[in-house]
Amino acid sequence: MSSDTTPDPTSHAFPTKQLTILAICRFSEPIAFNSILAYTYVMVQDLHGGDDTDASFYAGLLVSAYAVAEALTAIGWGSLSDRYGRKPVVLFGLGGVAISSLIFGLANKYWVALLARFIGGALNGNVAVMQTMVAEMVKNPAHEPKAYASQPFVWTLGGIIGSGMGGFLAQPAKFYPSLFPADGLFGRYPYLLPNLVAVAVIIMAIIQGALFLEETNPRRNRATHEAVFEDDDDIIDERTPLQRPKGRRSSARSQSRTTMDRPVFIEESLPVPVEQIFDLRRSSFGTVCSIKLPPAPPRQNERFDGKAFNFTIIMVTTALVLVSYHQIAFSTLLPTHLLNKPATPPGQIDFVGGLGYTVHDVGVYLSVNGIVGLFIQGVIFPIFVDRVGVWKSFSLNIMLYPLAYVLMPFVSAMPPLLVSPAIYLSMIMQCFFGIVVIPCALILLKGATPSPSVLGKVNGLAMSACCLARTVSPPVVGIIYSAGGSAAAWFSCAGVGLIGIAQLFWVPRKHVPSIVVENGMMIGKTGPDPGDGETETSIAISD
């Protein structure tokens, strides 16, 4: 096609309407997912007839079941979205979440609740498909950071509402007996109400999506389809179909990619395991902050035949795995510790029991945690990285991470007025450390990748390892809680954090100059880390 007829990607307007419709679909999911965190522990107790033996383990298993099923079926849903379109897969995934939530709320046996969680994960492949739709909606590369930020942002917002909803709508016959009699429907099924509300929100999202969401699959238009492939088969981003046609080689370069002058990172730190995703091949990932690196050198046509997994990649990936493990362990351990009954009188150190809060209290804590996390991501993170630098932000917060865990076993011995502030302090520390460490680790990981052609392999290694850590973490920390008590569980998280500190000495130091951290509120530009004397490490990203 001649240059005078080729559309200028910068002339496209920001797809506000379609992104808003897609955001509503995305918003409905965490309302269902996050609501269970507030009451999973007491629900397991109720399903076991009041027996709290190993309740923390079974609660953790409920959290992990969804992630396991989603991991097993994600590739299949991606392939279906390539063949039949993104829109039907997204709407079907929302329907799967609604079915799962309804079964979960009506569960009167543990295996039914576990099956409901597994069904929800198996029927939902929307994380990757929705991100692909965002990429296909955006025609102007300058709009990418803002567009990519919309999905994780609404996920976090929905998670805040979902956490509070789960805490305040669970067990309604107990907390609102004048409205919900004990012998009524919600007395027999004490966890149905929050799930019914979630189902109602999801149904509204499905209806508006069916009416107004436009199909973005480029295969519906052959000319557009030809334009979404990169010249190099090994260079893949979100505009590449989730599964390429057999026997087909890439033929044309995406116009939007040719105009990208630098790679973009967007960090993500969310309080639930299923949303902790990243893709080093993408131009953006995460939530409200983006980190732009200097322009990459021109891409070479030769294939890279060297070693993809060098020592730095292995060490940074190990650091990511350790953080992923204890970060998600905290997310499931905190509600359990808050809900579990104390084993000692108030004012004494309790290394075995919990704090004896209600699901209402847990809902408030989890919602506040989400709000704090959103504030840290949007305001504190850009300032901190701007002032401290990437490497120091990464290493300093890994070294401080165990402090968030060692505080919790001693909260029970504090005066009543200090208990709640101590819990919030632990939450804020854990939230801050995770929000800073993960994006900085991803920058180092991408910087250590020897060639753009192996980004897929490096991303696959890191993502798979982190997913595995997040999947096994909730039931493992639950076993520790059941066997050794609350303090043993918290100290186990701190122990993994200490391993991370020791492992930090084997992570090669990478200098990242002139990082631009930006969001909707501010833009900051960092120079070289103070005191660094290392030479610049070039980062080769396809453009």
pLDDT digits 0-9 by tens, 128-185? 788 788 888 888 877 776 777 777 778 888 888 999 999 999 999 999 999 999 999 9
- Least trusted range by pLDDT, from 3-17, 99-113, 181-195, 346-360: 3-17
Indicate the pairing of strand 290-292 with strand 264-266: antiparallel
The reported pLDDT for the residue numbered 207 is 96
How is the beta sheet containing 523-525 ordered, strand by strand? 264-266, 290-292, 516-518, 523-525
Please name the helix (run of DSSP H) or strand (run of DSSP E) that holds residue 441, with its range, or none.
helix 416-448
Q: Residue 205 pLDDT more than 70? A: yes
Q: What is the pLDDT of residue 429?
A: 95
- pLDDT for res 165: 93
Instruction: Check pLDDT > 50 for residue 432.
Output: yes
Using alpha carbons, select from 223, 255, 213 the residue that is nearest to residue 92: 213
**CB atoms < 10 A from the CB of 399, how many?**
15
> Could you tell me the pLDDT band of residue 258, with boundaries at 50, 70 and 90?
very low
CA-to-CA separations, 8 to 5, 14, 37, 139, 145, in angstroms, rounded: 9, 14, 47, 9, 19
* Nearest CA-CA partner of 58 in 382, 514, 482, 361: 482
What is the DSSP-derived secondary structure letter of residue 353?
A: S
Query: What is the model's pLDDT at position 135?
Result: 80
Q: What are phi and psi of 264, to 5 degrees?
A: -120, 135
- Distance CA(297)–CA(315), nearest Å, equals 25
Scored b (16 or more CB within 10 A) or e, 304-313 reads eeeebeeebb
Helix or strand run (H / E) with residue 290? strand 290-292
Give the least confident one: 131-135, 201-205, 422-426. Answer: 131-135
pLDDT for 39 beyond 80: yes
Distance CA(392)–CA(456), nearest Å, equals: 27
Predicted pLDDT of residue 122: 86
Q: What are the percentages of helix, strand and coil residues in the chain, rounded to 5? A: 65, 0, 35
Q: Which of 327, 491, 495 is nearest to 409 (CA)?
A: 491
Q: Above 50 in pLDDT, residue 522?
A: no
Q: What is the pLDDT of residues 87-110, one digit of tens each?
A: 999 999 999 999 999 999 999 999
pLDDT beyond 70 at 514: no
Residue 383: how many CB atoms within 10 A of its CB?
A: 12
Q: Crossing angle for the helix pair 416-448 and 359-375, nearest 10 degrees?
A: 40
DSSP annotation of 514: S
pTM: 0.81
pLDDT for the residue 191? 96
* Percent of the chain clearing pLDDT 90 (strictly above): 42
- Which spans in 267-340 are helix H? 311-339
The pLDDT tens digits for 133-148 are: 888 888 887 777 677 7
